[in-house]
Amino acid sequence: MAKLNTKVKLYLEANSKVYTDEKSNYLLRNDSNGTGDYLHSWNVSGLIEPTAEQLATYESAATTKENNNAIRATRRNAYGDIGDQLDEIYKDIDAWKARIKSIKDANPKE
């Protein structure tokens, strides 16, 4: 299940609003009672607070976004330092291409 924060960000983007930071736009809370996160306050000018049903429509897109972000992080770690990559390119660009391709193949985006 996707995070509420991701779904809210997608709702904002879909309604042509720019996400600045959570505290200036909206506030999520979790009362640690097992019900999970919820919208505590909404301060987005010109846009009504989304209902739970509206946010639920972003579940699939939010899951894809979170999965792809995790894959990007895995790839970033596997690629290594940019200086080392540039050295590798200088020494043997074909070996670098093969290594990067193997990382991408092992960590495909959705």
Domain limits for position 52: 4-79
- 69 assigned to some structural domain: yes
Q: Which residues contact 55 (CB under 8 A, 6 or more apart)?
A: 4, 7, 8, 11
How many domains does the chain contain in total? 1
- 40 assigned to some structural domain: yes
- Residue 22 pLDDT level (bands cut at 50, 70, 90): low
The residue ranking higher by pLDDT, 25 or 85, is 85
- 92 assigned to some structural domain: no
- 90 assigned to some structural domain: no
Q: Which residues contact 65 (CB under 8 A, 6 or more apart)?
A: 2, 6, 10
- Residue 25 pLDDT level (bands cut at 50, 70, 90): confident
- Residue 23 pLDDT level (bands cut at 50, 70, 90): low
